[in-house]
């Protein structure tokens, strides 16, 4: 397969290039804060369900209370973040990753 023919130091050289560092920065600077954000948002919901039951029980619309709306908002945020990630990676990650991969594979031959 393709991996064995690489010298390990080749990978270290690629990793040190500005463009790879840029790719990694673009990936991590989006994915890490977003992960923290959705985990905090989700845990807030769980903790409120456990410890703020009077608040969660407030009725908003007919029999629909804060707890249910909060839960449905978790669906909305999950769908939104998935969509945003797809957009981010198509615009910022894929072109750079494809470019780098193309060059490495070309240099290989």
Partner 1 sequence: MSHTTLATVLFLLFVVGTLAITFWASRQNKTAADYYAGGRAFSAAQNGLAIGGDYMSAASFLGIAGLIALYGYDGFLYSIGFLVAWLVALLLVAELMRNSGKYTMADVLAFRMSPRPVRTAAGVSTIVVSIFYLLAQMVGAGALVGLLLGITSDSGKALTIVGVGILMIVYVVVGGMKGTTWVQIVKAVLLMGGATLVTLLVLGKYGFNLSGLIGEAAAQSGKGKAFTEPGLRYGTDAQGIWGKFDLISLGLALVLGTAGLPHILIRFYTVPTAKDARKSVLWGIGIIGTFYLLTLVLGFGAAAMVGSEAIRTENAAGNTAAPQLALAIGEAIFGDIGGTILLAVIAAVAFATILAVVAGLTLASSSSFAHDLYAHVFKRGNVTEKQEILVARVSAFVIGAVAIGLGILAQAQNVAFLVALAFAIAASGNLPAILYSLFWKRFNTAGAVASIYGGLVSALVLVIFSPVVSGRPTSLIKDMDFHWFPMENPGLFSIPIGFLCGYIATRMSKEYNDAKYAEMEVRSLTGVGAEKASTH
SS3 65: strand
CA distance 89 to 107: 25
By CB under 8 A, tell whether 78 contacts partner 1.
yes
Is the CB of residue 56 less than 8 Å from the CB of residue 49?
yes
Structure tokens at 76: 């909305």
| Stretch 5-34: interaction string toward partner 1, x if CB under 8 A | -x-xx-xx-xx----x--xx--x---x--x
SS3 61: strand
By CB under 8 A, tell whether 49 contacts partner 1.
yes
Structure tokens at 10: 């080749």
* Residues near partner 1, by CB under 8 A: 1-3, 6, 8-9, 11-12, 14-15, 20, 23-24, 27, 31, 34-35, 38-39, 42-43, 45-47, 49-51, 53, 56-57, 61-65, 67-68, 71, 74-75, 78-79, 81-82, 85-86, 89, 93-94, 97, 100-101, 104-105
């Amino acid at each position: 397969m393709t991996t064995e023919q690489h010298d390990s130091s080749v990978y270290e050289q690629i990793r040190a290039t500005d463009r790879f560092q840029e790719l990694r920065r673009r990936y991590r600077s989006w994915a890490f804060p977003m992960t923290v954000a959705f985990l905090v948002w989700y845990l807030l919901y769980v903790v409120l369900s456990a410890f703020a039951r009077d608040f969660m029980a407030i009725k908003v619309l007919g029999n629909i209370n804060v707890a249910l709306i909060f839960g449905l908002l978790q669906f909305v945020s999950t769908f939104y973040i998935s969509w945003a990630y797809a957009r981010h990676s198509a615009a910022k990650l894929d072109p750079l990753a494809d470019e780098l991969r193309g060059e490495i594979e070309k240099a290989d031959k």
